[in-house]
Amino acid sequence: MFTLNCKGKLLSLEKPLVMGILNITPDSFYEGHIAKEQDKIWELAEKMILDGADILDIGGQSTRPGSQRISEKEEWERIKPVIQKIRQHNQDIILSVDTFYSTVAENAVKEGVSIINDISSGDMDSNMIKTVAALQVPYICMHMKGTPDNMQQQANYEDVVKEVLDYFIAKIYACKSAGINDIVIDPGFGFGKTASHNFQLLKSLSVFKILDKPILAGLSRKRTIYQTLNISAAEALNGTTVLNTLALHNGASILRVHDVKEAKEAVTLVEAYRRS
């Protein structure tokens, strides 16, 4: 059984957890969950908490394919008031920050965040891994080829499962050597990968259990779903639930989603199925 030490609060992964996505960006690929106005932020966060979110993941920078990078200063200016707003209303919900900047990670933990979620696993900021080690918080490492602005042009693999597995073997060693105790791995669905790559990773997700780390699956409303079904991201809830269910069946410990209620229902049903 995995646990995460979130600044003294022990988070058990005996049952899969649901992480709600809170985007504070003007250009996310799915506009349905963008908190553009300050007075709407708590409203959206509260709904996710009431729907059963175990973690809220706050992101101030779009990392969709082709997105343009903003500075760490601008990212922090977007994130800081959101953390403060949530903490004014709720001291208990576990907060994660979605950033590849070490300074943003450090500032966020000072404001009450207790998990760092890094799409680059330290590859975009050489100070990130040692910073997270010093902060002594869980670190979500994601696989991505290239950077968001060019990753889809680099989606070439001889064996995507093997390459991602090898990447995590090296990355886990680096994180452990630096002193990070709690590491979560994220295969990075959609990040420098085609739909075929994503389905191969999903089908082989159980292979990553050999790493003995919790696995996060971030499939929510992504291009693989809506392009396969020839629909829009706004129409991709049912498809998301299908792929989340497969991810749970294949070993995911955390689902990162826009729609918390439906993800919690998937967890409950899969757990009941396993117990039967």
| Residues forming the active site | 222, 256
Q: State how far the Cα of 57 lies from the Cα of 19, in Å rounded to an integer.
A: 6
CA distance linking residue 187 with residue 140, whole number of Å: 10
213, 171 Cβ separation under 8 angstroms: no
Query: Do the beta carbons of residue 241 and residue 255 sit within 8 Å?
Result: no
